[in-house]
Amino acid sequence: MARHPKHLEREIESLKEMILSLGTDVETSVKRAVRSLMRRDTTLAMKVIDDDYEIDQKEVDVEEECLKILALHQPVANDLRLIIAILKINNDLERIGDLAVNIAERAVYLSTHEKVDMPFDFQEMAEKAQGMLKGSLDALVNLDTGLARQVCKADDEVDAMNREVYTLVEDRIRQDPQHLNSLIQLLSASRYLERVADHCTNIAEDVIYLVEGEIIRHTNKFSQKDPDLSE
């Protein structure tokens, strides 16, 4: 027997709240991870690592809710597109949470070794990536394809910064080889930020799909991702 449309409407609203709650937690995790690395704050880094289980659980809850709605209501048209988009965004948010943990782990390592001056502007790169995360979530909340496209374009800037980091770190290693391991940790943190930006681009592309019904990831340059270091 078909479920009443009002039931579907309520469950979809609940699903939206769940994905936005997950997004808020992930945004907080990234901010804390960046701060822990900048301040060499082991306590804050460990909080990011310890709290990741909550993000993982929320990701599972969202997926289960999506599958339940699909099974019970067999939605079509816009409702179906929304659930498909949320399933994909859910996965990207969980991966961003994992990347925050990776950054926090770099912070723990660096806090136990002699301090090394960063050969690149980690803070600027972090602010760009965090801005993309906020923008992608705002685009989702407001179904704003203009903002989503801005997020996609911003990925170019983060990619360029990440390429520059490789050169700067390579030069510093030549000058300061005794700090090789710490410099490599910083390079890894930069790479994780670049991957955060990639996942934000995925979210933005899914917002465009949700609103316009157009899959753009294979039709523009923003979709060309490298393998994830943490996978």
Domain ranges of the chain: 5-223
Tokens of 73: 């209501």
How high is the pLDDT of residue 109? 96
177 DSSP assignment? G
Cα–Cα distance for residue pair 22/80, rounded to 1 Å: 20
How high is the pLDDT of residue 201? 97
Q: Which residue has the tokens 């930069």?
A: 190
Helical ranges in 112-228 per DSSP H: 122-142, 145-175, 180-212
* Residue 219: closest CA among 231, 230, 208: 208
The tens digit of pLDDT for each residue in 55-95 reads: 999 999 999 999 999 998 888 888 999 999 999 999 999 99
How high is the pLDDT of residue 8? 86
How high is the pLDDT of residue 224? 43
How high is the pLDDT of residue 221? 47
Which residues, other chains included, contact 186 with Cβ-Cβ below 8 Å and sequence gap of 6+?
106, 110, 116, 118, 119, 120, 122, 169
- Residue numbers in the chain where pLDDT is lower than 70: 1-4, 218-231
Which residues, other chains included, contact 181 with Cβ-Cβ below 8 Å and sequence gap of 6+?
113
**Superfamily for the 5-223 domain:** Phosphate transport system protein phou homolog 2; domain 2 (1.20.58.220)
Q: Give buried/exposed letters for 160-192 (b at 16+ CB in 10 A, else e).
A: ebbeebeebbeebbeeeeebeebbebbbbbbbb
Q: pTM, whole model, 2 decimals?
A: 0.89
Cα–Cα distance for residue pair 213/38, rounded to 1 Å: 41
